[in-house]
Structure 1
Amino acid sequence: MNSGSSVPAGPADLRSDTVTRPGPGMRAAMAAAEVGDDLFGEDPTVRALEERLAGLFGFDGALFTPSGVMANQIALQLLVGPGQELVCDAEAHVLAHEEGSPARYGGIQTRTVAAERGVITPALLAGVVRRGNPYTLGTRAVEVEQTHTRAGGTVHPLETLRAVRELTAELGLAVHMDGARIWNAMAATGTSARQYGENADTLSVCLSKGLGAPVGSVLLLPAEHLTRGRKLRHGLGGGMRQSGILAAAGLYALEHHTERIAEDHDHARLLAAGLREAGFAVRPPETNIVLVEVPRADEVVARAAQEGVRVTAPGPGTVRLVTHLDVGREACRRAVGVLAAVMTEVAPRTRNTAPAGHL
């Protein structure tokens, strides 16, 4: 377990990488943070976080937000006007997990593609992008997700992102990258933050998943969009005051928690191998999300929780496990034993292979 964690060995909470709690070092950084009124642009710690991430990803503007959902929705409204069209994967987080916000708050029409493993490609886009004319709605932007949550933490290869960027540039379209788990993509591939940043007009990064901060995301964007971005944030209820206390956690996480993300991927492989050896169908994890195909998934989740292993069921035939800094190697080994026993009791007849793709 990570030495900065405040959680002792015990129950294995593998529901999400959002369940982490700040350790003593992060709490001390938060307590010592210099603060000001961020709505007036006067919080020095927020400014330091924004400048740090803007420089890292190669943008000249950044905006600290309470959540990744808000960061995504601000970006989409900056790129796509009411009554205009966004193209994305059918299982994208911005559609499946953000309460219909593109339509509700932005008046944005979405058009989807069924991308294998959630990976958007130029070939997929070529078949759906509409140029638009006085009688036809035109596509204004494309959204990609890095890593793709519902496909199991899959990574868009850099060469694919570059090809998408080249196509959208030719067509005059913008690209938003939902980089909630982009830290996992960087750890898995060795791709730099700047290389990812070069392939998006706007990019949201989360601080409260793999990095282990308690709250917050940052939207990276061109500086000319900052004024409108701040107004959209305020209108969505994200205008914070002395939020440097929260930004300090993000700065601490950037300093102390990025290199260790590879451990989460090792633990995901441990979980996948153990459950596969027990005879269950497991999709090979690319990062920190493990998907197990098993019937009666809700019952598996309930029974496992009684044994101190907490997981989720994103679908009736799928159990999801997500590794993070508050669950170490021994807890993962114990989780394998508990889940294998529970799934054997609940669903003794299971497939021994798993399909690639979405849940």
Structure 2
Amino acid sequence: MIDFRSDTVTKPTEAMRKASYEAEVGDDVYGEDPTVNKLEDKAADTLGKEAALFVTSGTQGNQIAVLTHCQPGNEIILEENAHIFLYEGAAISAFAGVQPRTIAGEKGAMNPGDIKAAIRAEDVHFPETGLICLENTHNKAGGAVLSLEYMKEIYSIAQSSQVPVHLDGARLFNAAAASGVPVSEFAAYTDTVQICLSKGLGAPVGSIIAGSREFIEQARKWRKRLGGGLRQAGIVAAPGLVALEEMTERLVEDHEHAKLLAERLANIEGMTIENEVETNIVLVNIKGTNANVETFLDSMKSAGILAGSFGPYTIRFVTHYGVTKKDIETATEKIQKLVQS
């Protein structure tokens, strides 16, 4: 199978498997796992933050951030198609007791004026605005990059109202690879940031939350409350270190592959590319083929190609470490035949 469903399907590299096997371990709940400690220090330094916390997933990292920043009854501002809003099981409400204030964005970016207007005034009828959440790159917007200038503007608005900013940076290293801006510069315009060590970086499990030392100490307690306190976690943290040390620069290759994929799919009659391909996600509209998305996906699967449904006429393709240039050529040739059949 040529698997374009997501960059979450990447397999760990040989170096990651070796690192996991050889990892020095201890009880991380006691703060005694040297590999976890090394990973957290490396991540904090890379992101330009005082401290970092290893968590099991991006969703857990985002939820811990919301729980630590907010009080029950707060409201958080986020883009209407944000991952935290659409794909995390309403956890911000179920766990943190906060309500979302969604704002329609363009390519994943909320209008700064709309954000400013959405921050609540002091009034007994209103919830307090507890947090502004950004997502970079923006998944639902097709891997769109929020520019450094945009993030700086939003952070300035937030600071003027004393509202913290959390960045869902699950694919922040993709934003860095596409823009040439280090992740630390993006993170500078946030109070906290979450990054995934899996996805494009290829680690089998785990994410990082980074922020101030005081924030991370509070977040550590929330991680424990959510059942995220692990014991000899160095076995899963070691591949994360390899991800940060060896896998960030190669993301450019995924972006080149995505552009090639988009170019070849756009040349197939009835298919159009919906997004500007900036990183590793390609959104393809198949309405012109007169095919149903689910039926077309089944046909692709029978031909040895996996992708994901992203709307009534949209299929999402994601390039990653497990997809080669040859895979793209083979897959698009097969898709061409499916459309013509």
Shift of 1:342: 2.6
TM-score by length of 1: 0.91
C-alpha distance in 2, partners of 1:171/1:322?
38
Shift of 1:194: 1.5
C-alpha distance in 2, partners of 1:103/1:330?
45
Contact 1:66–1:215 at 8 Å: present in 2 too?
yes
C-alpha distance in 2, partners of 1:121/1:198?
20
Aligned to 2:282: 290
Q: Residue 50 of structure 2 is aligned with which of 45, 60, 75?
A: 60
C-alpha distance in 2, partners of 1:250/1:343?
40
Q: Residue 253 of structure 2 is aligned with which of 254, 259, 263?
A: 263
Does 2:336 match 1:336? no
Deviations 1:218-261 (A, max 9, x none): 00021112232111111111111111011100111122211111
- Percent identity of paired positions between Structure 1 and Structure 2: 40
Contact 1:292–1:319 at 8 Å: present in 2 too?
yes
TM-score by length of 2: 0.96
Q: Residue 230 of structure 2 is aligned with which of 231, 237, 240?
A: 240
User: Which secondary structure state, in structure 2, belongs to the residue aligned with residue 285 of structure 1?
Assistant: coil
C-alpha distance in 2, partners of 1:246/1:322?
24
Where in structure 2 are the equivalents of 1:131-170 lying within 5 Å? 131-170=121-160
Shift of 1:81: 1.1
Aligned to 2:302: 306
Q: Tell me whether 308-317 or 97-106 shows the greater mean CA deviation.
A: 308-317
Where in structure 2 are the equivalents of 1:318-337 lying within 5 Å? 318-337=314-333
Contact 2:13–2:202 at 8 Å: present in 1 too?
no
Contact 1:272–1:284 at 8 Å: present in 2 too?
no
C-alpha distance in 1, partners of 2:339/2:190?
42
Deviations 1:303-329 (A, max 9, x none): 101111100102121100000011100
User: Which secondary structure state, in structure 2, belongs to the residue aligned with residue 106 of structure 1?
Assistant: coil
User: Which secondary structure state, in structure 1, belongs to the residue aligned with residue 133 of structure 2?
Assistant: strand
Shift of 1:340: 2.9
Contact 1:165–1:175 at 8 Å: present in 2 too?
yes
C-alpha distance in 1, partners of 2:96/2:114?
25
User: Which secondary structure state, in structure 2, belongs to the residue aligned with residue 210 of structure 1?
Assistant: helix
Aligned to 1:117: 107
Contact 1:12–1:310 at 8 Å: present in 2 too?
yes
Does 2:220 match 1:230? yes
Where in structure 2 are the equivalents of 1:188-207 lying within 5 Å? 188-207=178-197
Paired residues in the alignment total 335
Deviations 1:142-195 (A, max 9, x none): 100010001100010100000001111111111000000001000000111221
User: Which secondary structure state, in structure 2, belongs to the residue aligned with residue 231 of structure 1?
Assistant: helix
Contact 1:50–1:63 at 8 Å: present in 2 too?
yes
Shift of 1:208: 0.5
C-alpha distance in 2, partners of 1:328/1:297?
25
Deviations 1:82-140 (A, max 9, x none): 10010001110001110110000000111000101111231221232212322322212
Root-mean-square deviation over aligned CA pairs? 1.1
C-alpha distance in 2, partners of 1:294/1:216?
34
Aligned to 1:103: 93
C-alpha distance in 1, partners of 2:158/2:334?
47
User: Which secondary structure state, in structure 1, belongs to the residue aligned with residue 54 of structure 2?
Assistant: strand
User: Which secondary structure state, in structure 1, belongs to the residue aligned with residue 185 of structure 2?
Assistant: helix
Q: Residue 281 of structure 1 is aligned with which of 269, 272, 291?
A: 272
C-alpha distance in 1, partners of 2:111/2:69?
20
User: Which secondary structure state, in structure 1, belongs to the residue aligned with residue 332 of structure 2?
Assistant: helix
Aligned to 2:202: 212
Contact 1:215–1:246 at 8 Å: present in 2 too?
yes
Specify the code of the residue in structure 1 equivalent to 2:197: L
Q: Tell me whether 201-210 or 248-257 shows the greater mean CA deviation.
A: 248-257
C-alpha distance in 1, partners of 2:72/2:337?
51
Moved over 4 A (4+): none
Does 2:168 match 1:172? no
Structure 1 pair 343/126, CA: closer, same or farther in 2 (3 Å)?
farther
Contact 2:193–2:209 at 8 Å: present in 1 too?
yes
Shift of 1:338: 2.0
Shift of 1:344: 4.6
Specify the code of the residue in structure 2 equivalent to 1:288: N
C-alpha distance in 1, partners of 2:305/2:140?
21
Contact 2:120–2:129 at 8 Å: present in 1 too?
yes
